[in-house]
Structure 1
Amino acid sequence: MKMTAEEVHDLIAGALCRSKTSEVNAASVADALVGAELAGQGGHGLRRVAAYCAQARSGKVDGFATAKGEKTRPGALAVDAANGFAYPALDLAVDWLPDAARSQGIAIAGIRRSHHCGVAGVPVERLAERGVIGLLVANSPGAMAPWGASRALFGTNPIAFAAPVEGGDAIVVDVSLSRVARGKIMAAAQKGEAIPEGWALDAEGRPTTDPKAALGGTMVPLGDAKGTALALMVELLCAGLTGANYAYEATSFFEAEGAPPGVGQTLIAIDPDAFGQNALARFAVMAEAVAGSEGARLPGRRRQEIRARSLRDGITVDDALAAEIRAIGQ
């Protein structure tokens, strides 16, 4: 079926409010999950609602938490997500960062005691829409082993970047450090579909096409050893730096039982005028060079096209999934 963005938002927020979550937090989560659907990333959208609601009902996530920020330096904000959903904490950081970056040239927000941050490209694109360069790194529960090892010390640990462009939409780079995002494997498991070989390994370290075996095993890193080196960098920036849990200390984003995941996110905002070199126009030059290269696509354009089309024509929603979400808490 087709649903408007507003209808999808109400569907998500209603399920959360029926699952021990405040209206304010439910709206923030719904904004983010609609943003995921509009970016074409359904594995971080509606398919997360059941798990989120189950965790809120069990108390693994505090649906009534209030994120709090403390300015520790003129350009640094420490944010405590208070074991609630990540999105209210991300909202707080995104609201604070642009003015701080313009004042200081660069500003950083570190979030601790957090949860799944969804599509990492969404908050950095919001920063770019407010005129600053955005960078986000986030960790997630253990899913990747150091290269050559078998213990999952690292999460899939997304890195996202967005830059405003003079006269055009932002450039948005959003990559998971596993070969594919774990949300795609979760979605395949929900649909009962096989996954391509090369995405994941089972608990014995063997390649698998069974999504359930993959969820019990480890992810194949993007770029092999290079991907795991970047995953280590992310762990240090968003957990070591902020006091959040490392991936191997964090509990599952999918299961309702257990302690809160307590993961972290770090966001950096940069004033493009910091060096006075007409950066936005320079960004446009490079964007045009990439877009004008035969066979190339500028990062961010696909999601922006999907968003425009979905806002115009509606978001495609699986009937059974919509019914499942409507039934939550009834």
Structure 2
Amino acid sequence: MAQLSLEEAATLARRALRHAGASEAMAASTALALVRAEAQGLASHGLVRVPQYATHLRNGRADGKAQAVITRHKGAALLVDARQGLAFPACDLAVSTAIDTARSLGVCFAGVTNSHHCGVLVDHLRAVADAGMVGLGFANSPAAMPAAGGKHPIFGTNPVAAVFPRRNTDAMMIDLSLSEVARGKLMVAAKEGRPIPLGWALDSQGQPTTNAKAGLAGSMLPLGAVSSPKGSMLALIVELLVTAVIGAQFGFEASSFFVDEGNAPRLGQAFVVIDPGALAGTDVYYERMETLIADMLIDDGVRLAGARRTGLEQQAKQSGLTIPDALKNQLEMLAA
């Protein structure tokens, strides 16, 4: 295993993306986001994505020269066009503008269209918490889950995220996909030749499977799909919110992130920023937050949402990152 400081990792990632065709701003924004994911223990959204993004840049699945731009801004609603670039600069623009708008109007809905993989969704909302506001995030992804009662993939795993600031301490951060388990668990099981539990995936014929490779070739099951269509309904809500409302492509129209060749995914993200001061008032908001948290913590074993990843990130700032030697060598080759 190889050891890297956060600064070394960010430099390698930025250089690799620059050499693949990304602008300096796009490479820097993306590198910082991927290193932050790695530092939080979210390796599936961390540095392993650099080679994938670099390949997409070289193959035209993402435009490294794209400059995100606000195309519409009406009252408390705005639309950012990522112009088929990597998602991070576009999401940065959407969130920063939404914060400014919410300061003035109390709330803002910011959509991002023609976008790419957005990484750890809740991380885009950290600036919202820093501004003392509540943030919600939604995104779609290439098709991986069937509709309720269906067999073929149509929805992405469609993550949702939320951030709730606290006074003088870390914000509460919530981030989850709407599949029963992360697709990465199937990938690991397939590599190790292990079976998967029933209820995780369907094979290409739409039948339940315990074979990880068959599940990867088929579709992921939505959250709670074995007993309820609720997960599928939530995925449908997110899919429509970030496509029909803002004009992005549906998950079934986008090629998988895990193939080199394919179309520009042109996916969607959406962020809602709410100023508590415009509603109950800031003091009431913080009092209500801490009252709830105090009652949650009465029970031993309760862990606040986001606490583990925040702790890991703080540790990584001190001790750096540990990544496989093969990945470090790959990053160095791409950056050379």
Q: TM-score normalised by the shorter chain: which range applies?
A: over 0.9
- Give the aligned partner of residue 223 of structure 2: 222
User: How far, CA to CA, are the matches of 2:335 and 2:192 in structure 1?
Assistant: 25
Whether 1:260 aligns to 2:264 is yes
- Give the aligned partner of residue 305 of structure 2: 299
Question: Unaligned regions of 5+ residues in structure 2, if any?
Answer: none
Question: Which segment is superposed worse, 11-20 or 195-204?
Answer: 195-204
- Code of the aligned partner of 1:284: E
- Code of the aligned partner of 2:233: A
Question: Unaligned regions of 5+ residues in structure 1, if any?
Answer: none
- Give the aligned partner of residue 275 of structure 2: 271
User: How far, CA to CA, are the matches of 1:108 and 1:194 in structure 2?
Assistant: 43
- Code of the aligned partner of 2:61: K
Deviations 1:262-287 (A, max 9, x none): 11001000001111442122212212
Question: Which segment is superposed worse, 57-66 or 194-203?
Answer: 194-203
- Match for residue 311 of structure 1 among 296, 299, 317: 317
Question: Which segment is superposed worse, 97-106 or 109-118?
Answer: 97-106
Q: How does 1:1-330 map to 2 (within 5 A)?
A: 1-186=2-187, 194=194, 196-197=196-197, 198-208=199-209, 211-224=212-225, 225-277=229-281, 278-328=284-334, 330=336
User: How far, CA to CA, are the matches of 2:258 and 2:294 in structure 1?
Assistant: 41
Runs of 4+ in structure 1 displaced over 6 angstroms?
A: none
User: How far, CA to CA, are the matches of 1:141 and 1:78 in structure 2?
Assistant: 21
Contact 1:70 1:78 in 2 (8 A): yes
SS at match of 2:129: helix
SS at match of 2:35: helix
Structure 1 166/195 Cα, relative in aligned 2: closer, same or farther at 3 Å? Answer: farther
SS at match of 2:92: helix
Structure 1 184/22 Cα, relative in aligned 2: closer, same or farther at 3 Å? Answer: farther
Contact 1:68 1:79 in 2 (8 A): yes
User: How far, CA to CA, are the matches of 1:14 and 1:95 in structure 2?
Assistant: 26
Structure 1 75/118 Cα, relative in aligned 2: closer, same or farther at 3 Å? Answer: same
Per-residue deviation, 1:188: 5.8
User: How far, CA to CA, are the matches of 1:123 and 1:329 in structure 2?
Assistant: 26
User: How far, CA to CA, are the matches of 1:16 and 1:211 in structure 2?
Assistant: 31
Per-residue deviation, 1:329: 6.5
Per-residue deviation, 1:170: 0.5
Structure 1 44/185 Cα, relative in aligned 2: closer, same or farther at 3 Å? Answer: farther
SS at match of 1:111: strand
Output the TM-score relative to the length of structure 2.
0.92
Contact 2:186 2:196 in 1 (8 A): no
- Code of the aligned partner of 1:287: I
Structure 1 314/179 Cα, relative in aligned 2: closer, same or farther at 3 Å? Answer: same
Structure 1 211/329 Cα, relative in aligned 2: closer, same or farther at 3 Å? Answer: farther
Per-residue deviation, 1:60: 1.1
Structure 1 127/221 Cα, relative in aligned 2: closer, same or farther at 3 Å? Answer: same
SS at match of 2:243: helix
- Code of the aligned partner of 2:326: A
Contact 1:244 1:264 in 2 (8 A): yes
User: How far, CA to CA, are the matches of 1:95 and 1:241 in structure 2?
Assistant: 20
- Matched pairs, number: 329
Per-residue deviation, 1:192: 5.0
User: How far, CA to CA, are the matches of 1:195 and 1:116 in structure 2?
Assistant: 28
- Code of the aligned partner of 1:196: I
- Code of the aligned partner of 1:308: Q
User: How far, CA to CA, are the matches of 2:123 and 2:196 in structure 1?
Assistant: 27
SS at match of 2:100: helix
User: How far, CA to CA, are the matches of 1:321 and 1:282 in structure 2?
Assistant: 45
Structure 1 212/326 Cα, relative in aligned 2: closer, same or farther at 3 Å? Answer: farther
> Identity percentage over the alignment?
43
Structure 1 226/115 Cα, relative in aligned 2: closer, same or farther at 3 Å? Answer: same
Structure 1 229/132 Cα, relative in aligned 2: closer, same or farther at 3 Å? Answer: same
Contact 1:43 1:186 in 2 (8 A): no
User: How far, CA to CA, are the matches of 1:293 and 1:125 in structure 2?
Assistant: 28
